[in-house]
Structure 1
Amino acid sequence: MMRIGVIGCGNMASAVVIGIHKSNPEVEFLTYTPSQVRAKNLAQEVKGAVVSSLQDFEKVDYLMIACKPQQFSSLAKELEGLDLSKLTLVSIMAAVPIEKIQMALKSKNVIRLMPSMPMQVEEGISLLLASDGLQKEKMADFSELLKGSSVIFECKSETEFNQLTVLTASGPAYVYYLAEIFEKQLLDWGVDKDAAKQLAIQLFKGSSLFMEASTLSLNDQIAQVTSKKGVTIEAIDLFRSSSIGQNIKTGVERAFQRSLEIEKAIESEIR
């Protein structure tokens, strides 16, 4: 039986663990948080076990590091004295490169994983990046665990991993933001709260399914819904002339730059 240790049981870690559990119920999870509260909640949901000591993780197959990037230095000190060299470490931390994880935890076997929240409903995206020299079987086995809950994309470099993170992992927040705008418009028109939310969600759900089923480019799909001097093109023309698309791209780029700032700050702590 495969055993996965989980340090940190926040939203992203929970999305991964729950997603894996749904398609791989035989995997055993050992969870840990300092207060044990969130560890207990997650363990109950996936029929796992809570551990009270970090030493219990020395015998797992994979050890998932899911603390906040700013907490990694403190965690590394707590893990000093443990032999992690034979484990495969799976980091869900943003902005912490593989080299720094290897240095701090004294293990060469590292996988960076960046999940997305929709993994909980088996519709996520998982970015993966493996350390040089990691056994192909280790990467393949872990990737297989994720296939039931997400689309897998293996990155070629730390830069690509960090860039895609602000789109695939942060992206659901952008989608929720846009959905909220439409929900508020419906509320302004007098639609009741529950119906407004349902309509906004269905708009994105149905459109996503149609995008996936269609062989047309996204631009051609826009053209399918619009017509010259029609209703829809009025909104699209305004969106384009007011640079909404460019503002979204700028926002994503700012998120990427912020990740670089965090990475630089963490590097100075780990040296």
Structure 2
Amino acid sequence: MHNSPSDVIAEQVRKHRKRLGLTREQLAEECARLGADHLTFAALTNIETGRRDRDGRRRREVTVDELEVLAHALAVPLLLLIFPVGDLDRVPTIPLEPAVHPRMAWKSATGAEPPVRMHSDGKPYADRSTIGGPNGPTRLEAWRAVVRPIELYQQLSDETDLMIKANGRLTHLEQVKQGDSTEAQHLRKVREHHLTEMARLIETMMDSGIRLPSYDPQTAREIIETGLLTHPDALPSLPTFAEDA
């Protein structure tokens, strides 16, 4: 029975431990190697079994620090331990709300959807309750104010990945003496397109006061060379080995 997120985590830890063929002793050893030697066999037993005290409360909840360690030890995306999409039909979230579909909880946790509440008929709706009293912002307003960095970082990550992919293929063609081929010429245009999109997104992030990611010096230079950055000196670049020395 999933009375709390810790109950779901416990079930998923047990599931993935067994998937990997690990005993609790072995999982405890993995956790110790990651610096969490307090996650002993006994601690893992209490987490997995959900032992209750006389008031019906779990004897052992899972902290955020421990969740990070367990996800790493079990090679599982952290959120999948809390919202196991494709495994459960419903997961608990906040105590006063009924359980929701893991996909809905996942999207809310990642910022893809605003925080939701559930009607008595089981249908979700955006949470517009106020924070801190009737004159405070609604949760939907507060969510919209902070979710922009997630959207921009995801778009920037996608464009960066596509640029790196095109660059990798282009490098290969140049190494095999096909740098003048039709494919290579096309890849240069593709690469330039993604660099331009990266620069546009970075400029938007600068305007929004969002901290920028660091790039290797060559990529940073190529982004600056698009001429789209109002403040090119603000783009951080990773140090080279010479700069580290």
Same fold (TM over 0.5): no
| Structure with higher strand content | 1
Higher Cα Rg, which structure: 2
TM-score (norm 2): 0.29
Larger RCO (alpha carbons 8 Å, 6+ apart): 1
